[in-house]
A and B are shown apart, each in its own frame.
Chain A
Amino acid sequence: MSLGHTILGLLEPGPRHGYDLKRAYDERFGRARALPYGQVYATLSRLLKNGLVEACGTEQGEGPERKRYVITEAGITDVSRWLTEPESPASYLQSTLYTKVVLALMTGRPAREVLETQRAEHLRHMRELTRRKLAGDLADQLLCDHALIHLDADLRWLELTASRLDELAGKVRA
């Protein structure tokens, strides 16, 4: 994800201090992983250099987190372009799982176990996400659903591959 654009977006409604930005980010988008302050600072320096934000005064005290930042016109144009452009859909054609299955078949290891171990792990993780979703607010629900729907797609692929494993084994060993 583009941290620069996210920070610009958080600055658009009004100026914020560096630390304030980190807090706003963590609250909305950092549920899986909080943002290290160093990364906020590095990103702000880059945005500053590119003229997408400006410093607008400093509070009493020491350190970069005391600086206030405001988005520039160029910054608004930039975040606006990012929001309206579609993300490129991930191609999914590089698959570690597929590679593992083929290598297991090539080396005479139990490929079906590779699939079953993965299936169990996926399902375990899906149960965990579902519990979290049940206890969570709308943001948790939407984030967990995003993960759950992707894991569900993987499970369907695992099932399909399991049912064509003999066919694949024939091709791989040919």
Chain B
Amino acid sequence: MSTAPITAAAPDAGADPRAEGALLAATDVRKGFGLTQALDGASLEIGPGELVAVLGASGSGKSTLLHCLAGLIRPDAGTVSYRGQDLAGLSDSARSALRRADFGFVFQFGQLVPELSCLENTALPLRLNGMRRRPAEERAREWLDRLDVADLADKRPGELSGGQGQRAAIARALVTGPAVVFADEPTGALDSLNSERVMALLVTAARESGAAVLLVTHDMRVAAYADREVVVQDGRTREPGRGR
């Protein structure tokens, strides 16, 4: 992880006024990797329970934006704030505690620990937050059941199909009751029927639990599950529906 540059300006200077009411907001974020400017002034805000699709060509900076918003990487410039608090002002341990308690993650694949059963994988975020094994596994089982994979509780990730693995991953992302779920191409490795089923389950489960979802995709049929869209192009964001 890189260190933040020292900036003299007050943290709120130049902040997007719309970011104030937002649950999570990135404002004019820049991030470079060597010579590549992955983000070059990207802004995005998401309200409580909102479902926002992040669209854009491969390499445009979608994942980097998601990682900045989730506090996984630190922007070179610009701010990311969660419930009005600048993430840069938090210590590394406070940031990871926030991620564990308030955020959930679903990736394209590979997020389940291969040595653990589905049930143990789903219970893991609760265990990391200090919950005891039995209540954690009870809640994990309820979530596997909501995602129609309760019968796979004892299986290892390697024994699951792509669609089954994504359902378990969604259960794991939602088990802590997060305020924001980050889903980076969650259907990217699925066929079209499984992709539809996984999206329907993700959206229904997120709506029922009131979680906001940031959904990275390049599939417009997946994007149509969201309330609105943000397009990333060459590290910059634009919102076609909002005239900017």
Contact = CB atoms under 8 A, between A and B. Distances in A.
A123 B204 contact: no
B10 interface: no
A130 B220 contact: no
A148 interface: yes
B240 A152 contact: no
Given A123-B220, A155-B220, A130 B225 contact: yes
A172 to B, nearest CB: 25
Interface string A93-126: 0000000000000000000000010011001001
Interface residues of B, number: 14
B203 interface: yes
Nearest to B240: A120
A148 B221 contact: yes
Contacts of B131: none
A126 B229 contact: no
Nearest to A125: B224
Contacts of A130: 221, 224-225
B220 A126 contact: yes
Contacts of A139: none
A145 B222 CA distance: 12
A129 interface: yes
A126 B224 contact: yes
Interface of B: 196, 200, 203-204, 220-221, 223-227, 229, 240-241
List of 4 A-B pairs having minimum Cβ-Cβ separation, nearest first: A126-B224, A130-B224, A155-B220, A127-B224
Given A129-B224, A130-B225, A134-B225, 17 more contacts: A119-B240, A120-B240, A123-B223, A123-B224, A126-B220, A126-B224, A127-B224, A130-B221, A130-B224, A134-B200, A134-B204, A148-B221, A148-B224, A149-B221, A152-B220, A152-B221, A156-B220
